[in-house]
Structure 1
Amino acid sequence: MFIETETTPNPASLKFLPGQQVMAQGTREFADPEAAEASPLAQAIFDTGEVVNVFFGSDFISVTAAPGVDWTALKPQVLSILLDHFVAEAPLFAPGTAAGIAVPPEGGELLVEENAEDADIVAQINELLDTRVRPAVAGDGGDIQYRGFKDGVVFLTMQGACSGCPSSSATLKHGIEGLLKHYVPEVVEVRAA
């Protein structure tokens, strides 16, 4: 088995591509070792002691190193863990735990109470996120989660390699905000949630 790696716009994150499906649907982010207890794979990666985030995408795993950690030493450790996991065909999640699939908008908790009359606008926003934004963000080792729409403001959460990326603010404000404003005139701003 061969696992490819790709750099991401976030210098602290690497994207690992095992050449097979990771998540059947949705995504899953582990922002700390306690959250990783639901997944033996994520827990093993956190057990290196040098990781602050693990993210499962459809066909990739993004790993974010702790500040000051050198990928030269960490990368072989993560590759070894991933190889062991996929060669053994081990389950991604521990028995009896919920996979916690986050498929926006159903899986994400809304931060704002939305108005029923905004349902068409919200549907347009989610359609654009699904077709235009999510594939591009996945290419960078992350995902984006819809968190609400109120008074012209769209609330989004960056995940995976994108959550701590220095350019995530620019991606939200200049990329995603511009796209949404162009196609959905009711959108006046995009904010990180």
Structure 2
Amino acid sequence: MFIETETTPNPQSLKFLPGQPVMTSGTREFASPEAAEASPLAQAIFDTGEVTNVFFGSDFVSVTAAPGVEWSALKPQVVAILLDHFVSQAPLFVPGTAGGIAVPPEDEEMAVKDDPADADIVAQIHELLDTRVRPAVAGDGGDIRYRGYKDGVVYLTMQGACAGCPSSTATLKHGIEGLLKHYVPEVVEVRAA
């Protein structure tokens, strides 16, 4: 087995491609060692002591190094952990945990509650996020979560390699906001939530 790596726009994150599916549906982010307890793989990566975020995508794992950590030392450790996991066909999640869901249960709350009167607008936003935005963001080692719509403002959260990326604000404001405003005239702004 061979693990490929790709750089991301975030210099602190690398995208690891094991050449096989990671998540069969959805995505999962681990932003702390405590959150990683649901996954032996995420926990092993956090156990290096040099990681601040682990993100599982459909066919990749993004890892964000702690400030000051050099990838030249961390990369071989992460590759070894990934190889051990995928070669042994170990489970991705601890049995009985809410591992295979896209949104961890403790984080299901929206930034704002959608008004039922805006259902058509919200449906259009979801369609654009799913068909146009998510594939591009996944290419950079991350994902985007919808967090609500109110008074023309769409609330989104960047995940994985995109979460701490220096260009994430530009992605939200110039890329995603422009796209949503073009196709959904009711959208006036996109904000990070």
TM-score w.r.t. length of structure 1: 0.97
User: Deviations for 1:127-146, whole angstroms, at most 9, x for unmatched residues?
Assistant: 00000000000000000000
1:14 is aligned to: 14
Distance (whole Å) between structure 2 residues aligned to residue 134 and residue 19 of structure 1: 20
1:51 is aligned to: 51
Aligned-partner SS, 2:52: strand
Q: Which amino acid aligns with 2:171?
A: T
User: Deviations for 1:64-84, whole angstroms, at most 9, x for unmatched residues?
Assistant: 000000000000000000000
Q: Aligned-pair distance for 1:96?
A: 1.6
2:31 is aligned to: 31
2:179 is aligned to: 179
- Structure 1 range deviating more: 25-34 or 110-119: 110-119
Q: Which amino acid aligns with 2:141?
A: G
User: Deviations for 1:35-80, whole angstroms, at most 9, x for unmatched residues?
Assistant: 0000000000000000000000000000000000000000000000
Aligned-partner SS, 1:147: strand
1:139 is aligned to: 139
| Alignment: residue pair count | 190
Aligned-partner SS, 1:145: strand
Aligned-partner SS, 1:125: helix
Distance (whole Å) between structure 1 residues aligned to residue 41 and residue 97 of structure 2: 13
Distance (whole Å) between structure 2 residues aligned to residue 157 and residue 20 of structure 1: 27
The 8 Å contact of residues 108 and 146 in structure 1, kept in 2 or not, is answered as no
Structure 1 residue 69 corresponds to structure 2 residue 65: no
1:95 is aligned to: 95
2:151 is aligned to: 151
Aligned-partner SS, 2:186: coil
1:189 is aligned to: 189
* Percent identity of equivalent pairs: 84
Q: Aligned-pair distance for 1:109?
A: 2.5
The 8 Å contact of residues 29 and 54 in structure 1, kept in 2 or not, is answered as yes
Q: Aligned-pair distance for 1:108?
A: 4.2
Q: Aligned-pair distance for 1:102?
A: 1.7
Distance (whole Å) between structure 2 residues aligned to residue 143 and residue 59 of structure 1: 13
Q: Which amino acid aligns with 1:34?
A: E
Q: Aligned-pair distance for 1:100?
A: 5.3
Distance (whole Å) between structure 2 residues aligned to residue 125 and residue 29 of structure 1: 22
Q: Aligned-pair distance for 1:185?
A: 0.1
Distance (whole Å) between structure 1 residues aligned to residue 101 and residue 82 of structure 2: 20
2:121 is aligned to: 121
The 8 Å contact of residues 44 and 81 in structure 1, kept in 2 or not, is answered as yes
